[in-house]
Structure 1
Amino acid sequence: MFLRIRRRSSFLSLIVSFIFVCCLISLVNLSLSQSGIKWDLFQTFEQTNDIEFTDDFDNVTGADKYIVPNIIHFIRFKTFELNFIDYVVLKAAMRNHKPDKFYIHTNVLEVKYEGKYWDLVRKDRDLWSRIEVLYLEAPTEIFGQKLNEGWRFYHGGDIGRIRVLMQYGGIYLDNDCFVIRSLDKYRNFECAINWDENQFIGSQTIIAHKNARFLALWLDSYRHYRSEKWYYNAGERPTVEILYRHPQLVHRVKGDFGIITDVSLNLYRNTSKPFEWRSLDSIHLLVNHRFYLDKNYNKTPTFNESNIQTYQYPFGEMAREVLDMKPITLSESPSAHQHPPQLVIDLTDWTEGESDSFALNETKIANTSTIEPTTNDPYTMHVNEMNQQLLDFLMNQLRPYGIVDPDSITSTTTIPPSTSTFLPNAAEVLMKNLISNGTDTDEIINAQQMQLFRDYVMQQLMPLGIVGSSEKPITSSTTVTQVPLQQLVSQNPI
């Protein structure tokens, strides 16, 4: 009888214990859900971490559960201090996606959380608790090939993001990628990347499992590294050599990651129709390219928590929303009647080829043929438009110095005979004419001419101490003999 009672007692205890454990799991699940940590990560990721993908995996429909860890990766080479944009990007990713972790990869050996924006991050306990800093050596070579010294940290960052995702999996974001909506819907795929029609992939936002086949093939494609081309290994080669042949390796995102230059520029201008930025999942802020693409750059060359309150274009609304700010009208702003800050030109980093490659970074149209584009080609016209914006910006900065005398130049000026190189006579005549006449014409300004302009500007600014004397102009073997200005402007399409 006593044994029978003990057996009944043990059985009841087992049932009670089981119910208690179930209730405890439910409470933990609810707590994790409220804190933004995905329970499915703990439930399934350990099982899915060792997936070996085959052609049977469908990157159109994806898996029936999350297979990519909810980790956002940033890479910060050379500097660890945050600026206003860095802080806004972190806040947007936290508010609109809420990852389990932020992994910040850096080559800075002695990390210091200094500056007011790190102070603000630490005050946000939920955000601060999710940040982990991991050391990442900045590459100097790839497969025995030395990286372009001038672009080392840019090309190194391209390589670094592949390696980071191959090690951990997760969500890689450029430091100026603003998350607008949750990216969870892409965590069911082997690899999700922006790949618009007739364009190369955009590597600013990548969501991938660590065993994604495309990542390994992408890294291996660096065995043929083109150090002189800005976006060849990051965008052109992996698209043409891998994805054209095997598109099934990725989930193709068309536009929703907001990496097209024309889309990003809508953040800094008024458009005929309101820019529906909320329809995107993320958007590239083009922070490092605003100075030559954004016609309103001089009005707000840098953003901060003060001027963002009166910034009238869409980025102002986006930043104020994640910072819980209310807009202030210009009439209410204490600086409404002050002059904009004086801009100082710094061309020391404007190295050979950047005028072309920066413009092409996110917009170059994939074209495997060798047919030379005409001025009616959308690729050529788009690059011309951006080059003209750069030209306008530089000309506006030159005028106050009185460096040139436009009155002495006419539109019919021809280039003097020369048996020397293309510079400086051709560049000086061409650019003086453009300064005189502006670029509101049908003239085509191509990449070669933009390089000429870069050299001309540098030569003129060296005596003023704005450009270091160590900078050398681009050389060319091309000679010029009595070429009309209009012909020079329109020749040599990109």
Structure 2
Amino acid sequence: MLGQVRVRDFRYQIRYGSVMQHYRNLKIRSVLTILTVFTVLCILFSLNNHLQDSRLQDIQDRIHELDCGSHVNLTFDEFNPDVIDDGSYIPSPKQLVPNIVHYILFTIHEIEFSHFVSILSVLKNQKPDIIYIHCDCHQLTGDYWPRVLRLAQLTETRLIVRSIFRPFGIFGRKFNKLWLNWHASDITRIRVLREFGGIYLDRDVYVVRSLNRFRTHEMTIDFEGNGTVLASQTLIAHKNARFLKLWLLSYCEYDSKFWYYNTGVLPTKEIIEKRPELIHRLNGEFGADSVAFCPLIYHSYYKNWRQKFYAFHLLIRGDYLSPNGWCLGGNRPKISQFNEQNIRQLNTTFGEMTREVFAFETQLVNKHSIR
């Protein structure tokens, strides 16, 4: 009897073991199937994104009616300028460029300290009809954003957040991933100006005084590096400016190995030096040459900053003075991360600049609160 029980138990264990082994095999096969399906879906999704990016890039290139083999019609119908001896031209008696300010934000979807300072300076000193913030987003965030909305309302300035696609290449050439946001912004600012015309500003550009005198020119550009490289941080252009078309087409020779080659070096050498009449050229008035102006605003107080300059490229990322050596190299000021509190203690040009625009905000709000 005991032997029969043991035999039954043994047979049960064999059957139970077989069932469990079969169940484990099913689990393994199910997991492998799920992983395989997931991997295939990821590959398909990646391919779809790649194809979608390529299609969007092709669409953007076609919208701007340019390709690397297209004929370039270099006529500007708004007026026929008289070229003078220095290669520039006599400006139009009318304002050609609309009073529209453009910013571009890629991957950063909030208004940070330096951008808020820039917007304050624009509202105070330029008084634009419209401010466009072109963004790969649908809405903006951050503590400063509600203040921007209120100031736009108080100054009766149209403020438009325009959702756009961030390009990943140009004319079939992929951007270097190391500089993707920068190169995407470089291309987009040209396209935006070709679509609307106006004043393009990097989000850390401080407008010192009205730029209206440059709106009578087809296009105005400042230079850096002792005048050898165009500065793209502040651009003023009519939408049909001839240089914009040539600048965009110069990206047919996009070189992904260099950060500023296609934006600054190539167009200066191959276009402006050969056709200087296409632009109104400045020599530092937009504060683009950091070697010259950074010590004036961050290390000391320069009393003529309002008279000497029309704008400054502050080289502030968010609220922190750029650590890349572009501004002051290793000789950084004691305070290089800024906020509304510590700027009150700065006895430098930058301290006065920021206090001035924050005072503008306070006065504006108080004026309308009294009403």
TM-score by length of 1: 0.52
In 1, Cα distance between the equivalents of 2:156 and 2:104? Answer: 17
User: CA-to-partner distance for each residue in 1:334-370, whole Å, 9 max, x for gaps?
Assistant: xxxxxxxxxxxxxxxxxxxxxxxxxxxxxxxxxxxxx
TM-aligned CA deviation for residue 276 of structure 1: 2.4
The alignment status of 1:203 with 2:238, answered yes or no, reads no
Q: Distance in 1 between matches of 2:174 and 2:139?
A: 27
Q: 2:322 aligns with which of 290, 303, 306?
A: 290
Letter of the 2:251 partner, please give it. Y
SS class of match (1:301) = coil
| Pair 1:94-2:117 in alignment | no
1:127, 1:150 → 2: CA distance? 39
1:191-236 deviation line (CA, Å, top 9, x unaligned) = 0101365421111111000000000000000000111111100100
Is the partner of 2:263 in helix, strand or coil? Answer: helix
1:160 is aligned to 2:188: yes
Give 2:300's aligned residue. 270
Inter-partner Cα distance in structure 1 for 2:304 and 2:260: 28
Match of 1:225 in 2: 254
Instruction: Tell me what 1:311 maps to.
Output: 346
Please give the alpha-carbon distance, in whole angstroms, between the structure 1 residues aligned to 2:154 and 2:263: 34
- Cα 1:210–1:239 shift into 2, 3 Å: same
Instruction: Please give the root-mean-square deviation of Cα atoms over the aligned residues, in Å.
Output: 2.2
CA distance in 2: counterparts of 1:187 and 1:97, whole angstroms: 12
Equivalences for residues 12-23 of structure 1 within 5 A:
none
Q: Could you state the TM-score of these two structures normalised by the residue count of structure 2?
A: 0.69
Q: Is residue 2:96 matched to residue 1:67? A: yes
Distance 2:82 2:98 in 1: 18
3-state DSSP class of the match of 2:356? helix
1:117 aligned partner, one-letter code:
Y
CA deviations 1:271-330 (Å, max 9, x no partner) are 7xx3521120001101146324445647323211111111222101000011118xxxxx
CA distance in 1, matches of 2:181, 2:82: 35
CA contact (8 A) 1:53 1:212 kept: no
What's the offset of the Cα at 1:53? 5.7
Q: Give, as a single letter, the amino acid of the residue that structure 1 aligns with 2:145.
A: W
101, 109, 134: which one aligns with 1:105:
134
For the pair 1:121 / 2:151, whether they are aligned, the reply is: no
Q: Say which is worse superposed, 114-123 or 184-193, in terms of deviation.
A: 114-123
Amino acid of the residue matched to residue 131 of structure 1? Answer: L
User: Quick check: 2:126–2:211 contact (8 Å CA) kept in 1?
Assistant: yes
Q: Specify whether residues 298 and 316 from structure 1 end up closer, same or farther in structure 2 by C-alpha distance, changes over 3 A only.
A: closer
Q: 1:72 to 1:55 in 2, by over 3 A?
A: same
2:54 corresponding residue in structure 1: none
Q: What corresponds to 2:166 in structure 1?
A: 138
Which residue type is aligned with residue 52 of structure 1?
A: D
From the superposition, tell whether residues 301 and 263 of structure 1 become closer, same or farther in structure 2 (CA, over 3 Å).
same
Alignment of 1:52 with 2:80, yes or no, is no
User: Letter of the aligned partner of 2:125 in structure 1?
Assistant: N
Give, as a single letter, the amino acid of the residue that structure 2 aligns with 1:71: I
When Rg is computed on C-alpha atoms for both structures, the one with the higher figure is: 2
> What percent of counterpart residues are identical?
40
Q: 2:218 aligns to what?
A: 190
Equivalent residues of 1:121, 1:127 under 8 A apart = no
Alignment CA distance shift 1:306-1:172 (3 Å): same
2:29 maps to which residue? none
d(CA) in 2 for partners of 1:216, 1:141? 17
Q: Secondary structure at the match of 2:322?
A: helix
The answer on whether the counterparts of 1:77 and 1:138 sit within 8 Å (CA) in structure 2 is yes
> Residue 440 of structure 1 corresponds to which residue in structure 2?
none
Question: Structure 2: which amino acid aligns with 1:290?
Answer: S
Asked if structure 2 preserves the Cα contact closer than 8 Å seen for 1:264 and 1:286, the reply is no
Distance 1:222 1:115 in 2: 35
Distance 1:91 1:237 in 2: 34
Matched residues in 2 for 1:198 and 1:161: separation? 21
Matched, 1:247 2:276: yes
* CA distance in structure 2 between the aligned counterparts of 1:221 and 1:264, rounded to whole angstroms: 30
Unaligned runs of 5+ in 2: 1-74, 361-371
Deviations 1:126-147 (A, max 9, x none): 3574211112211101111100
Q: 8 Å contact 1:68–1:170 — kept in the other structure?
A: yes
Q: 1:54 to 1:238 in 2, by over 3 A?
A: farther
Q: Distance in 1 between matches of 2:82 and 2:186?
A: 27
Unaligned runs of 5+ in 1: 1-49, 326-494
Look up the SS of the partner of 2:312 in the other structure.
Answer: strand
Larger strand fraction of residues: 2
SS in 1 for 2:131: strand
Which whole-Å CA distance do the structure 2 matches of 1:313 and 1:298 have between them?
10
Q: Determine helix, strand or coil for the equivalent of 1:207.
A: strand
Q: Could you say if the C-alpha distance between residues 61 and 296 of structure 1 is closer, same or farther in structure 2, counting changes exceeding 3 Å?
A: same
Mapped to 1, the partners of 2:247 and 2:77 lie a distance apart of 17
Higher relative CO (Cα under 8 Å, sequence separation at least 6) belongs to 2
- Partner Cα distance (1:55, 1:65) in 2: 13
Closer, same or farther: CA 54–241 of 1 in aligned 2, 3 Å: farther
